[in-house]
């Protein structure tokens, strides 16, 4: 699927954030991943239009074929550990690949929570993110990591890993990557995001982050009061 998104479309920036970190090459796995992401971005625009009540230009069969091809190409991508890339490149590729699978299972090729391997993916994503020094990343890298953490956090709903993802969001918040829900949403919308579905889960993560900050302030106030009494 080589179609381009109309530059005047509300989702015109979808997928562009990846290009600032995963620089396209003529061949190779990174370029293959970017090709899949481009197809996913265009398909997400089709779903956005469908949400607005517009009919697909393609037949239902063609749309289903596009969806199946995207999922096939995505799941055919090799793992980062199998690639001859620099360590940092392989790490970024792998966590991006995993987060893209989460998005696909939510939006492109949706599966129920009971059948999708969200628990396993979120656990592998956590391992990958832990190998990255957040404080040594560029602003573009941090934006990508923010989207990846959001995908991991959504996949980790109802698991012990959920609170870990919220804590990493807190680290990114403290690093001034974003300062509110609207800024956070503006970041993820440059990667892969369909607001009609993802905003609910994303906002839930944001509210958990706000709650974490509330607990932190209460603890700091309590500690300060204890020090004054000593």
Q: How many CA atoms lie within 13 A of 69 on its CB side?
A: 13
- CA-to-CA distance for 126 and 95, rounded, in angstroms? 9
Give the per-residue pLDDT at 227: 47
Give the per-residue pLDDT at 60: 77
| Model confidence pLDDT, tens digit, residues 33-53 | 999 999 999 999 999 998 888
| Model confidence pLDDT, tens digit, residues 62-74 | 889 999 999 999 9
| Model confidence pLDDT, tens digit, residues 162-221 | 999 999 999 999 999 999 999 999 999 999 999 999 999 999 999 999 999 888 777 666
Give the per-residue pLDDT at 5: 86
| Model confidence pLDDT, tens digit, residues 83-100 | 888 889 999 999 999 999
Q: How many CA atoms lie within 13 A of 10 on its CB side?
A: 10
What are the C-alpha distances in Å from 47 to residues 26, 37, 158, 183?
Answer: 29, 15, 27, 24
Query: Is the pLDDT reported for residue 223 higher than 70?
Result: no
| Model confidence pLDDT, tens digit, residues 111-156 | 988 899 999 999 999 999 999 999 999 999 999 999 999 999 999 9
- CA-to-CA distance for 191 and 25, rounded, in angstroms? 19
Query: Is the pLDDT reported for residue 104 higher than 80?
Result: yes
Query: Is the pLDDT reported for residue 226 higher than 60?
Result: no
Cβ-contact 106, 197 below 8 angstroms: yes
Give the per-residue pLDDT at 67: 94
């Amino acid at each position: 699927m080589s179609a381009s998104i109309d530059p005047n479309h509300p989702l015109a920036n979808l997928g562009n954030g990846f290009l600032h970190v995963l620089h396209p090459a003529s061949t190779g796995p990174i370029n293959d991943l970017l090709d899949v992401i481009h197809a996913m971005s265009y398909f997400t625009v089709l779903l956005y239009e469908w949400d607005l009540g517009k009919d697909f230009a393609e037949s239902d069969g063609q749309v289903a074929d596009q969806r199946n091809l995207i999922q096939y190409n995505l799941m055919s991508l090799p793992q980062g550990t199998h690639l001859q890339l620099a360590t940092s490149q392989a790490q970024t590729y792998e966590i991006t690949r995993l987060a893209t699978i989460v998005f696909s299972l939510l939006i492109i090729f949706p599966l129920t929570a009971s059948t999708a391997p969200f628990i396993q993916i979120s656990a592998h994503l956590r391992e990958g993110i832990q190998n990255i020094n957040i404080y040594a990343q560029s602003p573009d890298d941090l934006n990508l990591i923010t989207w990846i953490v959001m995908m991991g956090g959504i996949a980790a709903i109802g698991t012990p890993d959920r609170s870990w993802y919220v804590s990493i969001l807190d680290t990114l918040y403290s690093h001034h990557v974003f300062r509110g829900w609207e800024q956070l949403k503006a970041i993820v919308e440059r990667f892969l995001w369909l607001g009609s579905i993802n905003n609910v889960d994303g906002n839930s993560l944001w509210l958990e982050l706000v709650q974490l900050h509330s607990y932190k302030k209460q603890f700091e106030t309590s500690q300060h009061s204890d020090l004054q009494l000593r």
